[in-house]
Amino acid sequence: MLRYALTRALSLGLSLVVASVVIFAVIEVIPGDPAAYMLGMNATPEAVAALRGQLGLEGSVVSRYLGWAGGMLSGDFGVSYTYKVPVADLVAQRLWVSLPLALYALALSTLIAFPVGLIAAARRGGATDYGIMGATQLGIAVPNFWFAMLLVMVFAVNLRWFSAGGFPGWEDGLLAGLKALTLPAIALALPQASILARVMRSALIETLGQDYIRTARAKGLSRRQAVLRHALRNALIPVLTIIGLQFSFLLAGAIIIENVFFLPGLGRLVFQAITQRDLIVVESLVMLLVFAVIVVTFLVDLAYAAVDPRLRRRT
Amino acid sequence: MRLGAQLWVGAGLTAVFLLAALLSFAWTPHDVEALNIADRLKPMGAIYPLGTDHFGRDILSMLMVGARTSIAVALVAVGIGIGIGVPLGLIAAANRGSLLDEVVMRGNDLIFAFPSLVIAILITAVFGPSALNAILAIGIFNIPVFARVTRGGALSLWTLDYILAARVAGKGRLRISLEHILPNITNLLIVQGTIQFSLGILAEAALSYVGLGAQPPTPSWGRMLAEAQTMIYTNPALAILPGLAIVAMVLGLNLMGDGLRDLLDPRVRRARG
Amino acid sequence: MIRLEDLSVTIHGAPILSEVSLDIAPGKVTGLVGESGSGKSITALAMMGLLPHGSTASGHAWLEEGDVLAKTEREMCTLRGNRVGMIFQEPMTALNPLKTIGDQVAETLVIHGRATKREALEIARARLARVGLPEDRFPLGRYPHELSGGQRQRVCIAMAVALNPELLIADEPTTALDVTTQAQILDLLKRLVAEEGMSLLLITHDLAVVSGLADHVAVMQAGRIVEQGPTEALFRSMAHPYTRKLFAASSHQPARVAQAEDVPLLTVENAVRDYATARLGIFGQPGRFRAVNGVSFTLRRGESLGLVGESGCGKSTLTRAILGLDALQGGAIRLDGQEIHAGPHLDATIRRRMQVVFQDPYGSFNPRWRVERLVAEPFHLSPEHLPDRRDRVARALEDVGLEPEAMHRFIHEFSGGQRQRIAIARALITNPDLIVLDEAVSALDVRVRAQILDLLARLQEEHGLAYLFISHDLSVVRSVTDRVMVMKGGEIVEEGPTEAVFAAPAHDYTKALIAATPRIPADWQGEQNA
C-alpha cells in the first residue's frame, strides 16, 4: 500500500512539474514579451522596461521559471499588475467561495446519484428504471449555468426562498454561507448526478452479471444481499473514476456559474484579469486550478487502492 | 421497438438543428446583425415568430445562426480529437507497454488535468477571445478522450487470434492497425464521437456565456443567455429559448448516440434476434 | 435422496430440457455427461432455483423437504449453500476479487445464521484446511488474486461444503484446470463424498472423468437424458447410439501413416525467451522472466510432432517465437536452414512455408471480412498479384470439406467446427511445409474434434505436411503424433517417439502427467463395438 501510494505521489509531483512548465510556456514564452503584451500597443519602451523589472521578467527563461515555481512553493504568487496586491491574497479570499461550492456540488451529486443508480439497476427494465433513465437523459442535456438561471427565476424571483445571488461571507456563519451556495450547488450537481447515476447503474448491472455474484447466490444470499455485499463495492471502481473526473468539471462549472449568482469567487477574478491582461493573475490561477485537479486525481488513485486489493500489492 | 424509437427521435432532433444551421447560410427570417431599437423586446408574433431581444434582433434568426456556431465549433473540435487522438491511441496500443505507450498515456493524463475552461482561459489570456479559442480548447480536451477510447478498444482486439494470424501472414503493426483494428473500432468511435459532439455543444455554450467563445456580432446560444441574464425578471423568454435550443440539440445527439450504440453493438443486436 | 421427476425447462419459449428424470443417491457420485448445449448446466441451475431470466420450469425436483420447484425465493435462499452447495467451471472469476477468502467462506455460515462472524472465521479456517489450504500457508486474509486457479477452486469447494450440504453440484469443476490440478481436485471431491456422506452431482463433458469418479452416470443429449445406469454397466453395454458415438469420438484414433522423411525442416537450437514484466512508473526498470530456457529440437519434413505441457510451461511463448512473432534472446530457430527473425522483415518465402491454426474458433477471424478475404489473407506474402486467387480459395475450402460458395459468407454464419475448417483452409492456401496447430482442437466438442483430427490426418497425407501439435491434452497428442516433447518450466524434460514415451515415461513429470490423465478402464470397452 505504502509503495503504491509513493509511486502515485511521485507521478503526482511529476504531473505538477510538467503542468507548470506548460502553463509557464503559454503565458510567458509564447507571447514574446509579456510586459509589452500587458501594456498594449501604445506603451513606451521605458514603461515596458519598468514593468519588466517590476514583474521580475529579466533573466533567462529557465531562471524565470525557477523563480516563479520556487515562489509558488513558498506561497509567493507574485504581485497583481492591476490590483497592485499580492496574487496570493487575491486568490485566498476567492478560493474559499469556489472550492467549497465545487465540493458541495460533488457531495450533492454523489448523494443523489448513488441511490438513484442503485434503484434503477435493481429495477432494471421496469417502469422506475425507464423513468430514471429518461430523467437522467434530460439532466445530462441541461447546461448547468442555464439551469442555474431557471432556479433563480423559480426559487429566488417567484418563490423568494433564496436570494438571487451574492455571498455574505463565511464570517456570518456556516449556515448563511451554505445557504447562499445551495442554489448554485444544486445547479451544478443535478447534471453531474445524472451522469453519475447512469454510470452507477451500468456498473452495477455489469457487476451483477459476474461469476462471483452467481457464486454468492449459490451460497444462499438473496438478490438484495448479493447486491449489497458483493456487487456494490465492485461497481464502485468505475464510479470512482467518474467522480474524479467530475471534480474538474465541477470546478470549471463553479467558475462559470458564479456569474449567474454574482458570487465573489475565482471566476470573476480570472475573467477580469483576462480583460485587463493581468497575466500574472491568470498564470497563478490556472496553476492553482490544475493543481486542484491533479491532487483530486491522486486522491482517487488512493481510493482505488483502498477499494481494490489487487492494486495494493501491485509493486 | 423502443430502441429504434430512441434512435429516430434523436436523429430527428439533430436533423432539425442541422437543417436550421444549413438554412441560415442562405436565409434567415431577419438580418441577425441589424439593430432595430423600435422593435425591441417584442413578444412572439407573426413578424417575429419568437420575439425580439433588447436590440430588436429576431430571436429565431439568432437561434438559427447560433446553431451554426455551436455545431461548427463542436464538429471541428471532435475532428481535432479524432484526427490526433485516434492515431495516438492506435500507436500506443500497437506498441503496448513500450516507453512510447507510457508517454502517450501520461500525456493524456496531463491534458485531463486541464479542463476545457482552463485551456480556454490560457489561450484567451494570450491571444484574446475568439470562436477559434473555443474550438482549440474543446478540441485539445477531446484528444485524450479519443486516444483512450481507441487504445482501450484496440488493446482488446490485439489479443485476438485473428491479429496473430495477420502477423503470421507477415503484416506489420501499421498495416494491421489500419486493416484490422481501425475498422473494428469504428462503432466505438462513432458512439464516442456523438457523445463528444454533444459535450462540445455544451462546452461551447458555457465558453461563449463567459465571453471566451464567439464574439459579437456573431450570434451564439451561450452569449444570448449571458445577455438575457440581466432581464430574467422582465423578459424570461429571452433566457428560456436559447437554453431550450441547447437542451433539445444535446438531447437529440445523446439519444442518437445511445440508439447507435445499441444498433451497432453486436451483443445487443444478437439478443434482439 | 434427491430426485428429479419430469423436469422440463423452456427459455423464452424455446425448449431446453425435456422431461429429465434422475435419482441422485445419498453418499454417491452421480455423473451427468453431455456436449455443450445439451442442457446439463441448466439442469443444475434448475435444482438451485437460479435459472436465467425468461425461463419457465415444470416437473419436480424432490428434496427431503419437498419440491424445490414449488418453493418461494425466500425458501430457496435458506436452502442454497445450506442443503445444496454448488461450484462452477471458472474458478478465476468465481470469487469476489475484493474480499478475502476467509470472509467469503465465513459468509456462507453467517448468511444462514449458523455462526457469529468470529465463529464463522474459525470454521472457515478449518474448512479451508480440510480442502487443502492450511492456515500456515494460506491465511484467511489472502485475496483471490494471490491464489492459483486450482487453489481458488478449493476455496469455492470450501464455501460450498461449509455447512455440510447433503448435495454438492459441481458444474465442470476441472475443465479450466491443468491435468495434474484436475486430478487433485477430483481426488478432493471423492474424499469429501466418502468422508462426509454427501451426494455429488458431477457435470462434465469428459467421459473419462466420469468413469473414474461416478457411481451412476446419465448421458444427456439435446435436453434429454438418453441413457442412465450404474457407471460400469453403462460403459460396458452402451445401449444408446449417442453414448456409443460420444465414446467413440472421445477415444478416436484417426487413420494415419507415418510419413516423416529424415530431412530436418524446423530446427530450434538453444532457444531462450525472456519476458519483460510490468514496468513500474515511467522510469522504472521492467523485471525479467525467463519463459523459454534453452530449448532445442528438430522437426522433420512430413513429421507430426507433439508439444505437451501445462499452462505457464512456456509452450505458447515458444510457439510465438517459432512463428516469428517475438524475438529470441538467445539461440536460433531455422526453417529449412533459413533463420527466423521476429517482425515484419522476415522473408516472405519463409513465412509462406509455415502457417498456424489457433485454438479459439471465435476470435480467429476478422468479423468484418468475408471468408474469401479471410482465407486469402496469407497471400499478402506473395509478391505478385494472383489472378487465380478465387480458384485457390475455392480449392482450399473444398480441401477442408466446405462448399466453395462459403467464400461469400461472413464468419458468424459458421459453427465452431466449420470455423476451424476455415482456419485450416487459411493455413493451407500458401501450400506450406509446416502447420503449427496451437491447441487447435481444444475448444471443440468431442465429436467435432474427431472430425477435425481426421481432416488433419488426411491433409497431412495428401500434402506431405509437417505438424507441430501443441496441446495440454495428452490423449489427443497421443492419437495424432509420431513424436512428442514434454515441456515444463521453460525446458523440454522428455522427448521421444509418442508410443514409447506414453508406454514407458522416463521423467517424473511425464509420469505424473500420464498418471493424472483420466482414462476409461480398458476392459470396459470391449462389448459395444458389435
Residues of A within 8 A of C75 (CB-CB) are none
Q: Min CA distance, C355 vs chain B (Å)?
A: 7
C-alpha cell at B177: 492497425
Q: Is residue B24 part of a domain?
A: no
* Interface size, chain A vs chain B, as Cβ–Cβ contacts under 8 Å: 123
CA distance A183 to A177: 12
Contact C324 B168 (CB under 8 A): yes
Confidence at C385, pLDDT banded by 50, 70, 90: low
Q: Which residue positions in chain A have pLDDT lower than 70?
A: 1, 41, 313-315
Mean predicted lDDT score pLDDT of chain B: 87
pLDDT of residue C380: 75
Please check whether residue B129 lies inside any domain of the structure: yes
- Per the structure, the complete domain to which residue A188 belongs is given by 95-311
Confidence of residue C59 (pLDDT cuts 50, 70, 90): very high
pLDDT at A89: 87
Which pLDDT score, from 0 to 100, does residue C282 have? Answer: 47
Whole-number pLDDT of residue A155: 86
Percentage of chain C exceeding pLDDT 70: 95
What's the rounded mean pLDDT across residues C510-524?
A: 89
State the residue for C-alpha cell 480442502. Answer: C131
- State how far the alpha carbon of A105 is from the alpha carbons of A185, A190, A263, B206, in Å: 5, 9, 15, 18
- Asked whether residue B273 is assigned to any structural domain, the reply reads no
Q: In B2-58, where does DSSP find H-type helix? A: 2-26
Instruction: Give the mean model confidence (pLDDT) for residues C320-344.
Output: 87
Would you call B266 and C367 a contact, using CB atoms and an 8 Å cutoff? Answer: yes
Distance CA B57, CA B37 (A): 8
* Model confidence at C382: pLDDT above 80: no
What gap in Å lies between CA C171 and CA A299, rounded to an integer? 42
B191 occurs within a structural domain: yes
Indicate yes or no: CB of B251 within 8 angstroms of CB of A137. Answer: yes
In a domain, B139, yes or no: yes
Q: Which candidate from C78, C98, C146 shows the least CB-CB separation from A233?
A: C98
List the chains bordering chain A where 3 or more Cβ pairs fall under 8 Å. Answer: B, C
**Cβ distance B253 to B10 under 8 Å?**
yes
Distant-in-sequence, close-in-space partners of B205: CB < 8 Å, separation ≥ 6: A143, A146, B70, B220, B221, B222, B225, B246
Window 183-202 of B: residues touching C by CB (8 A cutoff) are 183-184
Cβ–Cβ gap C281/A216 under 8 Å:
no
Residue B178: the pLDDT is: 94
- Whether C50 sits inside 8 A of A218 (CB atoms) is yes
* Parallel/antiparallel/unpaired status of strands C330-335 and C338-339: antiparallel
Characterize C391-416 residue by residue with b for buried, 16 or more Cβ atoms within 10 angstroms of its Cβ, and e for exposed: ebbbebbebbebebebbeeebeebeb
Structure confidence at residue C454 (pLDDT): 94
pLDDT score at C285: 61
Grouping H, G, I as helix, E, B as strand and the rest as coil, residue C247 is helix
**Bridge partners for C220 per DSSP:** C225
**Which residues in chain A have Cβ-Cβ distances shorter than 8 Å to B226?**
259
Percent residues over pLDDT 70 in chain B:
96
pLDDT digits (tens, 9 = 90+) for C67-81: 989 999 999 999 999
Query: How far is residue A65's CA from residue A61's CA, in Å, rounded to a whole number?
Result: 6
Average pLDDT, chain C: 90
Look at B184 and C378 and tell me if their CB atoms are within 8 Å: no
Does A120 map to a domain?
Answer: yes
CATH number at residue B217: 1.10.3720.10
Contact C85 A230 (CB under 8 A): no
> Is B96 inside a domain boundary?
yes
How many domains in chain B? 1
Residue C528, pLDDT above cutoff 50? no
Contact state of B114 with A143 under an 8 Å Cβ cutoff? no
Q: Tell me which chain C residues have a C-beta less than 8 angstroms from the C-beta of B97.
A: 276, 278-279
Please determine, for residue C284, whether its predicted confidence score (pLDDT) is greater than 70: no
Question: Distance between CA B246 and CA B232 in Å, rounded?
Answer: 18
DSSP conformation letters of A227-273: IIIIIHHHHHHHHHHHHHHHHHHHHHHHHHHHHHHT--SHHHHHHHH
Q: C286 pLDDT band (50/70/90 cuts)?
A: low
How many domains does chain A divide into? Answer: 1
Contact C367 B161 (CB under 8 A): no
Query: How does pLDDT run across C184-204, given as a tens digit for each residue?
Result: 999 999 999 998 889 999 999
Tell me what pLDDT residue A204 has: 94
Residue A122's CATH number: 1.10.3720.10
Predicted pLDDT of residue B273:
31
> Which DSSP symbol is given to C381?
G
**Partner-chain residue, chosen from B106, B122, B246, that has the shortest CB–CB distance to A23:** B122
AA letter at A19:
A
At B254 the pLDDT is 93
Banded pLDDT at C381 (limits 50, 70, 90) = low
What is the DSSP secondary-structure string of C100-116?
-HHHHHHHHHHHTTSS-
**Digit-coded pLDDT (tens) for C217-239:** 999 999 999 999 999 999 998 99
Q: Is residue B242 part of a domain?
A: yes
Q: What values do phi and psi take at C201, rounded to 5?
A: -105, 110
Residue A134 is assigned to a structural domain of this protein: yes
Nearest CA in chain C to A219: C81
CB count within 10 Å of CB C287 equals 12
A125: cell is 427494465
* Residues from chain B contacting residue A266 (CB–CB below 8 Å): none
Q: For each of the domains in chain C, give its residue range(s) and CATH number, in order of start.
A: 1-83+201-251 (3.40.50.300), 254-277+284-353+434-448+463-516 (3.40.50.300), 365-431 (no CATH)
Question: How far, in Å, CA of C348 to CA of A103, rounded?
Answer: 61
pLDDT at C312: 85
In a domain, A304, yes or no: yes
C303 Cβ contact list (under 8 Å, min separation 6): C260, C265, C466, C467, C482, C483
Q: Is residue A84 part of a domain?
A: no
Cell 454510470, residue?
A: A199
Distance (Å) from the alpha carbon of A219 to chain B's nearest alpha carbon? 29
Could you tell me which of B17, B12, B11, B247 has the C-alpha nearest to residue A137? B247
β-bridge partners, A27: none
- For A222-237, the pLDDT digits (tens) are 999 999 999 999 999 8
Contact C168, C200 (CB under 8 A): yes
| The three grid cell numbers given for residue B186, joined into one nine-digit string | 469504428
Interface contact flag, A27 B122, Cβ < 8 Å: yes
With respect to residue A275, please indicate whether it lies within any of the assigned structural domains.
yes
pLDDT band at C243 (very low <50, low <70, confident <90, very high): very high
Closest residue on chain B to C378 (Cα): B169
Residues 6+ apart with CB under 8 A from C238: C227, C244, C247, C527, C528
Question: What integer pLDDT is reported at residue A315 of this predicted model?
Answer: 40
b/e B167-179 (16+ beta carbons within 10 angstroms → b) = bbbbbebeebbeb
> Residues A263, A167: contact at Cβ < 8 Å?
yes
The least confident of A100-104, B263-267, C37-41, C156-160 is: B263-267
- Measure the CA–CA gap between C225 and A141, rounded to whole angstroms: 56
The domain of B124 spans 3-15+57-268
Angle formed by the axes of helices A144-151 and A232-261, nearest 10°: 60
Picking from C365, C368, C380, the nearest residue to B169 by CB comes out as: C380
